[in-house]
C-alpha cells in the first residue's frame, strides 16, 4: 500500500486518508474516491489529497477484519458487520467472559497493523455487551500477514461467553448470642441481590447453632431442594478443621480448598457434595461491596467448573477495595496524628421551595432547629471543623446556630443551584483540609454514629478515597470528598452537587452502609411530618 499526498487529478480509485471539508463538499476518511468525487473537489479548488493506494497483495481493511473473525474460534458471541476496518463482537446474554490470553497475545504480536482487544478474563458481562473487537490499523493488510494471523486464530478457542444459569440457592446461617437477628436478615437480602445478576434466588434457609453437627444437619435438610448451598458462619473460619469445613464433611461432602488469595474474601471454603457446590462464605459476603465471593458465585452460576487450582490462581488482581465496616483494616496509620484532617461543609443556603414558604432547615425537632441538630451531629463525628454555607434567610440560620463552634461562608448566588454553595464551602476550608464531608441540612435520619462511621472509613482509606453513604447498596448522602477533588468542584455549574464528582472515576469510592437515613431527606411538608419535624413560620 502506498500512502501520502497526491495531486487531486491522480486520486481517483484511491482511499481518502483524512476527512475533509471544502466549500460545499464533505467527505469522510476511508472513502473510495470516484471520478465524480474528484470533479467536485477540483471544482472547490482542492489541489492535493493525502490518500492510500492499494497494491497487489493488499487486503482491504473491512475484508481483512472479517476474514480474521471468520477464522477465530469462539462460543456464545456474535460478530457484527465490519466497518472502518473494525469488527465488534457482542454477547447476547448476561454471563461470564473468558479469554485465552496466550492466543490473543500471539495474534497481536504478528504485525502492528492487526489488533485484537477483549474484556478481561472472567469479566462479568451483560446482554448485548461488546466483549472483543478486531481492528485493522491501516487501510489494508498484506495477504501474508493476514494468512499468519488467521493460522493463529484457528489454533484454539480465543474467547467465550458463558451465560448465567438461574440456580436455587440454599442458605445456612449459624447463630451465636452476639449476632443480632437483623444481621442475619440483612445477609439474606444482600445474598439475594448478589444472586440477582444470574437470575438465581435464595430458596430454603436454615439458622442453626454454631456447631459442626448442627450445621451438617441444616445442610442435609435443604440439600435436595437446592442447586448450591451457602454457609455463613457467625464466627470466621480460621482452620480447615473449623466448624464450617467440618460440617461440610459431616454432611457427606468434600472440602476442596480452604482460604482464597482475594482480599476481602480470604476466609472462604470451597466444598461440594454429589456435584453440587457447598460453599463456606467469608465474612465480607455480608457486605454488598465486591469481594472474592462474587468471583466464585459468578463462575459457578456461569457453569464454569471451580477447582482448588482455580482458587489459587485468583491472587493477581485479588487485592480489592477495603471494606469500611471491616473489623480489622489491612493497615492502620502509624499514629492518630497521622490521620488526615477532615472538615465538614454543611449546605444550608437553599430556599426550601417545595415547602411552600417555611424554611425547612428551621423546622423544630424536639425543641431544636433541624439545621442546628444536623450541625451538632456532624461536629460529634470528630471533624476538625465545620463550615456552614448560608444563602436564603442567612441571618435566621446563623441565629439558629448561635454558640456552636462553626464558621460561615455566604453564597450570594444560592438561587442558581447547589454547585455555588459547594464551591463556597470548599473555598472556606483551611489549607490543611485533607477532605470535606459534604453534609446536607435536610437529612434528619443521619445520626452521630453515621457521621463517625463515614469519618472513620475516610481515615482508614488514608484520606485518598471518596467515602459515600449507602443504603442496601444504593448511593446516598453524606459524601466525603478527598482534597484531590477540590479543584474539580470549581468546574461544577448549576444545580449539581458532589454526585457528579463521585461518579467521574477520578478517585476510588468506599461505600459505607449506614441504613435508610442515607436516602431520606425532607423536601415536602409530608416528608417533614413523617420525620417528626414541625415547620416554623
Show the CA angle centred on residue 461, arms to residues 458 and 467, nearest 5°: 40
The CA distance from 206 to 214, in Å, is 10
Identify the band that residue 54 occupies on the pLDDT scale cut at 50, 70 and 90: confident
Residues 6+ apart with CB under 8 A from 293: 194, 265, 268, 279, 281, 282, 284, 285
pLDDT tens digits for 417-470? 888 999 999 999 999 999 999 999 889 999 999 999 999 999 988 898 899 998
The full set of domains in the chain, from first to last, is 2-53 (3.90.105.10), 58-163 (3.90.1170.30), 168-312 (3.40.980.10), 336-531 (3.90.550.10)
Tally of residues, the chain: 537
pLDDT above 50: residue 85: yes
pLDDT of residue 537: 61
pLDDT of residue 87: 96
CA distances from 412 to 64, 428, 439 (A): 62, 14, 19
pLDDT above 70: residue 264: yes
pLDDT above 50: residue 192: yes
Is the Cβ–Cβ distance between 73 and 158 less than 8 Å? yes
pLDDT tens digits for 157-175? 999 999 999 999 999 999 9
Average pLDDT over residues 25-31: 85
Residues 6+ apart with CB under 8 A from 165: 198, 199, 200, 301, 302, 303
pLDDT above 60: residue 131: yes
pLDDT tens digits for 291-350? 999 999 999 999 999 999 999 999 999 998 654 444 444 444 444 445 789 999 999 998
- Residue 467's nearest CA partner among 289, 338, 266 is 289
Average pLDDT over residues 31-40: 89
Strand 386-390 and strand 342-348: the pairing is parallel
- Residue 122's nearest CA partner among 130, 114, 131, 113 is 131
Average pLDDT over residues 366-392: 93
Indicate whether this model's pTM tops 0.85.
no
pLDDT of residue 321: 63
pLDDT of residue 517: 86
Is the Cβ–Cβ distance between 288 and 307 less than 8 Å? no
The CA distance from 403 to 377, in Å, is 15
Higher pLDDT, 108 or 20: 108
3-state DSSP call for residue 464?
A: coil
pLDDT of residue 385: 95
**Which of 270-274, 521-525, 532-536: highest mean pLDDT?**
270-274
Mean of pLDDT over the chain: 90
pLDDT of residue 329: 45
- Least confident span in 234-238, 389-393, 477-481: 234-238
Amino acid at each position: 500500500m502506498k500512502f501520502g499526498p497526491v495531486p487531486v487529478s491522480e486520486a481517483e480509485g484511491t482511499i481518502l486518508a483524512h476527512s475533509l471539508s471544502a466549500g460545499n463538499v464533505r467527505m469522510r476518511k476511508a472513502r473510495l474516491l470516484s471520478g465524480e468525487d474528484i470533479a467536485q473537489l477540483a471544482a472547490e479548488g482542492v489541489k492535493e489529497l493525502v490518500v492510500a493506494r492499494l497494491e497487489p497483495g493488499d487486503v482491504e481493511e473491512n475484508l481483512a477484519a472479517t476474514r480474521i473473525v471468520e477464522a477465530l474460534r469462539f462460543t456464545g458471541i456474535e460478530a457484527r458487520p465490519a466497518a472502518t476496518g473494525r469488527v465488534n463482537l457482542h454477547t447476547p446474554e448476561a454471563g461470564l467472559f473468558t479469554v485465552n490470553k496466550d492466543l490473543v497475545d500471539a495474534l497481536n504480536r504478528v504485525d502492528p497493523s492487526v489488533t485484537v482487544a477483549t474484556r478481561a478474563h472472567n469479566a462479568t458481562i451483560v446482554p448485548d455487551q461488546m466483549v472483543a473487537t478486531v481492528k485493522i490499523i491501516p487501510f489494508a493488510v498484506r495477504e501474508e500477514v493476514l494468512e499468519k494471523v488467521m493460522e493463529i486464530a484457528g489454533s484454539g478457542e480465543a474467547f467465550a461467553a458463558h451465560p448465567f444459569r438461574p440456580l436455587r440457592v440454599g442458605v445456612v446461617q449459624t447463630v451465636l448470642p452476639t449476632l443480632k437477628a437483623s444481621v442475619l436478615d440483612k445477609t439474606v437480602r444482600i445474598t439475594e441481590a448478589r444472586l440477582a445478576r444470574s437470575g438465581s434466588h435464595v430458596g430454603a434457609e436454615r439458622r442453626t447453632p454454631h456447631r459442626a453437627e448442627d450445621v451438617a444437619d441444616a445442610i442435609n435438610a435443604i440439600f435436595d431442594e437446592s442447586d448450591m448451598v451457602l454457609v455463613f458462619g457467625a464466627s470466621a473460619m480460621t482452620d480447615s478443621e473449623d466448624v464450617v469445613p467440618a460440617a461440610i464433611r459431616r454432611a457427606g461432602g468434600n472440602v476442596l480448598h480452604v482460604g482464597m488469595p482475594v482480599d476481602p474474601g480470604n476466609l472462604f471454603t470451597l466444598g461440594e457434595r454429589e456435584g453440587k457446590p457447598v460453599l463456606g462464605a467469608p465474612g465480607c459476603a455480608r457486605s454488598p461491596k465486591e469481594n472474592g465471593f462474587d468471583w466464585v458465585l459468578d463462575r459457578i452460576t456461569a457453569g464454569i467448573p471451580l477447582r482448588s487450582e482455580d482458587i489459587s490462581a485468583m491472587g493477581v488482581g485479588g487485592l480489592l477495595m477495603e471494606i469500611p465496616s471491616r473489623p480489622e483494616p489491612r493497615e492502620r496509620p502509624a499514629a492518630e496524628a497521622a490521620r488526615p484532617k477532615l472538615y465538614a461543609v454543611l449546605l444550608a443556603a437553599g430556599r426550601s421551595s417545595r415547602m411552600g414558604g417555611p424554611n425547612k432547615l428551621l423546622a423544630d425537632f424536639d425543641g431544636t432547629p433541624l439545621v442546628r441538630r444536623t450541625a451538632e451531629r456532624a461536629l460529634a463525628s470528630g471533624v476538625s471543623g465545620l463550615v456552614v454555607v448560608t444563602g436564603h434567610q442567612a441571618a435566621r440560620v446563623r441565629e439558629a446556630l448561635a454558640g456552636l463552634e462553626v464558621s460561615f461562608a455566604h453564597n450570594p448566588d444560592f438561587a442558581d443551584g447547589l454547585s455555588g454553595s459547594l464551591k463556597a464551602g470548599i473555598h472556606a476550608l483551611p489549607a490543611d483540609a485533607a477532605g470535606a464531608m459534604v453534609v446536607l441540612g435536610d437529612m434528619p435520619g443521619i445520626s452521630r454514629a453515621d457521621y463517625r462511621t463515614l469519618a472513620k472509613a475516610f481515615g482508614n482509606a488514608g484520606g485518598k478515597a471518596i467515602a459515600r453513604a449507602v443504603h442496601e447498596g444504593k448511593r446516598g448522602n453524606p459524601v466525603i470528598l478527598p482534597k484531590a477533588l477540590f479543584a474539580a468542584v470549581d468546574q461544577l455549574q448549576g444545580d449539581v452537587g458532589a454526585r457528579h464528582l463521585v461518579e467521574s472515576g477520578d478517585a476510588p469510592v468506599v461505600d459505607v452502609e449506614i441504613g435508610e437515613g442515607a436516602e431520606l431527606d425532607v423536601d415536602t411538608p409530608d416528608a417533614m411530618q413523617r420525620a417528626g419535624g414541625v415547620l416554623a413560620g
